[in-house]
Amino acid sequence: MPGNDAEQKAASILKLWRDYHTNRNPESREKLIENYLPLVKLVAGRVAVSLPQHVDKDDLISNGFFGLMESIERFDPDRGVKFETYAVVRVRGAILDSLRAQDWIPATIRQKARQYEQTVAKLEHGLGRSAHDEEIAAAMKISLSELYTLINHLNISTLIPLEEFARTETASQHIPNPSQQLEEEEVRFMLAKSIDKLPEKERLVVSLYYYNGLTLKEISLILKLSEARISQLHTKAIFRLRGALSRLKSSLL
Q: Which amino acid is at 69?
A: M
| Confidence (pLDDT) at 161 | 34
- C-alpha angle with apex 189: 188 to 193, nearest 5 degrees? 120
| Confidence (pLDDT) at 165 | 23
| Confidence (pLDDT) at 164 | 26
- Ranges under pLDDT 70 in the chain: 1-3, 49-54, 101-106, 155-191, 213, 246-253
Exposure of 209 by Cβ count < 10 A (0-12 exposed, 13-18 middle, 19+ buried)? Answer: buried
| Confidence (pLDDT) at 170 | 28
CATH of 2-105+154-251 among 3.40.50.850, 1.10.599.10, 3.90.550.10, 1.10.1740.10: 1.10.1740.10
Instruction: Specify the 3-state DSSP secondary structure of 75.
Output: coil
| Confidence (pLDDT) at 249 | 55
Domain-wise residue ranges, the chain: 2-105+154-251
| Confidence (pLDDT) at 80 | 79
CA 69 – CA 46 distance, rounded (Å): 19
Q: Residue 66's closest CA among 251, 239, 253, 248? A: 239
**DSSP code at position 179:** S
